[in-house]
Structure 1
Amino acid sequence: MTTHPNKLRIDIVSDVVCPWCIIGYRQLAQALEATGTAHEIHWHPFELNPDMPAEGQNLRDHVAEKYGTSKEQSEDSRVRMTEVGADVGFEFRFADDMRMHNTFNLHQLLHWADQQGRMHDLKQALFTAHFTNRRNLSDDSVLADVAAEVGLDRAAALAVLEDQRFAAEVRTAENTWINQGISGVPAMIFNRRHLVTGAQGVENYTRILQQLAEMPD
């Protein structure tokens, strides 16, 4: 897809089960609105847990295993993320039975949605489905439901998940970013040149956008 010359191109490498990805995007969106920056956003796939079994895993158990996080640390982190999310209008509803999911199928569904110009809408709906409504994103029928809720064809969505027709393309896209050194998300690349990682906060994103606007093309 070509970039319009007057618009800032923003490539965002992210995963739907990454809380800081939705926080970072919401912070960036506020900064874009505040600065009146003409832009176009392109989402790209990244799997936080490519080896996660298909049925997923309890989120707290997963965090403890992966990062060595205690229950108290996990709770503190959840409180902090909930507060930061609320600041940018996103509701986190963490619970003890919340699960982490393998997201390869999600990324295939997003790839399909992109062909219809609806990837952004589906991405936002999946963030909400996971973090706010705690829906089971390991279930293909739930994924198809979410796709239908943003106006996509449910039967077609289910067929995409069942026949895995975009598996190779998604795997290639994931590896492209990994080979470029992306090892954590969110990773935002501005005008294909300037990499910013993590959720930077509205003020920092605003400063970054202002600096980019002052740079010669």
Structure 2
Amino acid sequence: MTATLRIDFVSDISCPWCAIGLAALEQALAEVGPEITAELHFQPFELNPGMPPEGQDITEHLTQKYGTTPEQQAQAREAIRQRGAGLGFVFRREGRDRIYNTFDAHRLLHWAGLSSTHPGGLQHTLKKRLFGAYFTDGESPASHAVLLRTIADAGLDVTRAGAILEGNDYADDVRQIENLYTDAGIHSVPAIIINERHLISGAQPVSTFVQALRQIAAAPADAQAN
């Protein structure tokens, strides 16, 4: 008998550990399938909601935010690159040049997640394209040109996406969802919430995700959901 789990993946485009966490979760789902399947929903979280569209130099940003030195940042960047490589995700060896505002990307992801409009996991596809554009290709997720290209690559309506970017569609929805998760105590990402009650924090190893998915799927129905 197949168990279907709802998974809310709370994350930001500018978070490298979110890209790693998604790759690990995908591998875990492949391992537990077909007895366990998942409905993935990507939820917005902004690590730097006040970041201007033009962004900030990444070394300057990390030094100001975390007090790390360029040498420490280089070590962390290499560890992230190697972890990603082990999961099949490519981070540029030189890392990111800048960090950018991601609010418009989240608006597009929210639109792409409207299942009645986009059945078949196109939100998932868009999320992966956005991670690739930023971390692999070194492009700005605040750039409307980059966003529209990822929309096209994901098979979504470029004309409608352009209209969303030119206006304020879904801005209130995204802010409401962000507030929902922060009010619930989520202040770091990735945060993976299964069946709206089981929280897995951070980019866990594939084996950890596999164990959690199997345990939750095997639990009685009244223990899986609210």
1-structure distance, mates of 2:96, 2:106:
24
Q: 2:215, 2:64 → 1: CA distance?
A: 40
Q: Residue 207 of structure 1: SS of its match in structure 2? A: helix
Q: Which residue number in structure 1 is paired with residue 88 of structure 2?
A: 89
- For 2:43, what is the secondary structure of its paired residue? strand
Counting aligned pairs with the same residue, the percent is: 45
CA contact (8 A) 1:187 1:196 kept: yes
Correspondence for 1:7 among 1, 4, 11: 4
1:158 counterpart (133, 158, 162) = 162
Deviations 1:100-129 (A, max 9, x none): 011111101111222332211111100000
Which of these residues, 17, 20, 32, is aligned with residue 20 of structure 1? 17
Paired AA for residue 144 in structure 1:
L
What TM-score does the superposition give when structure 1 sets the normalisation length? Answer: 0.93
Alignment TM-score, normalising by the size of structure 2: 0.90
Number of matched residues?
213
Give yes or no for the alignment of 1:211 onto 2:206. Answer: no
For 2:151, what is the secondary structure of its paired residue? Answer: helix
Deviation at 1:159, TM superposition (A): 1.3
Q: For the Cα contact (< 8 Å) 1:94–1:131, is it kept in 2?
A: no
Deviations 1:53-105 (A, max 9, x none): 12111112111111111111100001000000001100000536611011111
Cα–Cα, structure 1 residues 60 and 122, in superposed 2: closer, same or farther, change >3 Å?
same
Q: What is the SS of the residue equivalent to 2:207?
A: helix
Unaligned 5+ residue runs, structure 2?
222-226
For structure 1, which runs of at least 5 residues remain unmatched after alignment?
Answer: none
How far apart, in 2, do the equivalents of 1:97 and 1:127 lie?
12
1:194 pairs with one of 181, 194, 198: 198
**Partner Cα distance (2:164, 2:217) in 1:** 40
What CA RMSD, in Å, does the superposition of the two structures yield over aligned residues? Answer: 1.5
| Residues 1-217 of structure 1 aligned to structure 2 (within 5 Å) | 6-36=3-33, 37-95=36-94, 98-115=97-114, 116-117=117-118, 118-217=122-221
1:119 and 1:8 mapped to 2: Cα distance? 17
Amino acid at match of 2:15: C
Separation in 1, partners of 2:166, 2:214: 45
**Which residue does 2:224 correspond to in 1?**
none
Q: Deviations over 1:171-194 (max 9, x none)?
A: 111111111111110001111111
- Measure the CA separation in 2 of the matches of 1:104 and 1:169: 11
